[in-house]
Structure 1
Amino acid sequence: MWAAKLGKQLGNPTRSVGGWLVSKLLTVRNKVLEENAVQLCGIQPGDTVLELGHGPGLGLQSAAKLLTDPNGHLIGVDYSEYMHQMAKERMKELITSGKVTLHHCDVAAMPLAENTVDKVFHCNCYYFWPDLRKGATEIHRVMKPGGLMITTLRFSHLATLTAKRVLPGKNWHPDTYMAALKDSGFTDVKMEDKQHKDITFQAIYATALK
């Protein structure tokens, strides 16, 4: 039962003791993944950048620093109202200035126009989407032709959580997600092992073919 409750909070943290603990866990555990996802995107100063499942806002902070051109814009979406509010507080000055826009919504139904996003990144996120194909199709829809998406994860940790039944089903496996990306119009889909100091993680790359 504890595994199911933890999995539920990881997928949609709520304003509760469990949600608060998950927010602290994400702040510590996701820092390396978030920062590396941002760097691997190759963000340019005037890009429009989208983070999926932004959580407490660590990746948003890293990406915002790179958007130094007046045309640079950062968008974040998260299904959790708790995480949405937490990130809004963290990013409030940049939201007020118009540099950052946050949406509380489902990845499969984002209020964004087609062909408007240059770069997309996310970490520890896709495992909780009910339908990977719908999510991947929606990401592809909002991206510009040739836009790059980066996903970072730690495969060994995912396998452990799955064995403990924290992550349900088969959506957690990178091969399942990469297959959904290919089916949704992405090309050059691949996964590479990466190293950050003593931490090994994986990065999935996908380019929006249109």
Structure 2
Amino acid sequence: MGRRRLWNGEPVGANPFALPRGPLGVAAGWMLAVTNRRQQADVLAALAPGAYRSVLEVGCGPGVLLGLLASAPGVEEVAGIDPSQRMVSMSRRRNAAALRAGRLRVHPGSAGATGEPDAAFDLVVTVNTVAMWPSLDEGAAELHRVLRPGGRAAVSWHGASSRFALTGEEDATVLAALRRRFGAAERRDLGSAVLFEARR
């Protein structure tokens, strides 16, 4: 990522992968659908989503993980939010059958303002978005707010072998933010990704 200053309150700016929009946004969405697929599958396997009735994906991008969640046995309700209207549209098209069946809904929203009600979900998951949140503390607070008591927050980012991997200091900052809000949090290395987990 080069020199970066994460979680300083600044908007994500013109990065087409952070906030896909316009013609470049379509290309970015298709690229994200391909490049994030392995990490999403690894995170899904680690989470065993069938243990949760209601799931929210924060930063759903083009909707690949949303589709996997919506088809997981035992999952009754899936919601996806993304700050990019382009990604919301792509997610809806990709998962049109699940939307028509009432198993899925997708709308604009961000990590700090999901637009979802209090204590609505058993699981909140996000893959490769945490370094793009303007405020880490606001994002952690919002995940806590929308989870039911006993609910699980799962925040994943690129693994150590990726050029986008968090530094040791950034890694510790994510864990500390979750611990401040949830009281306890753990970090797991999945190979393709790191997974930070906390329970309300």
- TM-score class normalised by the smaller sequence: 0.7 to 0.9
| Distance of 1:22 and 1:76 partners within structure 2 | 18
| TM-score (structure 2 length as normaliser) | 0.84
2:199 pairs with 1:207: yes
> Where does residue 79 of structure 1 map in the other structure?
83
> Where does residue 19 of structure 2 map in the other structure?
12
Please show how residues 35-54 of structure 1 align to structure 2 within 5 Å.
35-44=41-50, 47-54=53-60
Please show how residues 119-158 of structure 1 align to structure 2 within 5 Å.
119-156=123-160
Deviation, 1:204, is 1.6
In structure 1, stretches of 5+ residues that fail to align are none
Deviations along 1:46-104, whole A, 9 cap, x unmatched? 610011101111101111111446xx100101011111100011111211221101121
> Where does residue 183 of structure 1 map in the other structure?
180
Would the aligned equivalents of 1:41 and 1:148 in 2 still touch at CA under 8 Å? no
| Distance of 2:13 and 2:193 partners within structure 1 | 22
| Distance of 2:64 and 2:119 partners within structure 1 | 26
The alignment's C-alpha RMSD in Å is: 2.7
Q: Cα 1:179–1:45, aligned 2, differ >3 Å: closer, same or farther?
A: closer
Deviation, 1:45, is 6.4
> Where does residue 190 of structure 2 map in the other structure?
194
Please show how residues 103-118 of structure 1 align to structure 2 within 5 Å.
103-118=107-122
Deviation, 1:6, is 9.6
Would the aligned equivalents of 1:76 and 1:102 in 2 still touch at CA under 8 Å? yes
| Distance of 1:110 and 1:161 partners within structure 2 | 25
Q: Cα 1:131–1:6, aligned 2, differ >3 Å: closer, same or farther?
A: closer
Secondary structure of the residue aligned to 1:114 is coil
In structure 2, stretches of 5+ residues that fail to align are 5-11
> Where does residue 8 of structure 2 map in the other structure?
none
Tell me the matched-pair count. Answer: 190
| Distance of 1:139 and 1:207 partners within structure 2 | 10
What amino acid is aligned across from residue 20 of structure 2 in structure 1?
P
| TM-score (structure 1 length as normaliser) | 0.80
Choose 3-12 or 22-31, whichever is displaced more: 3-12
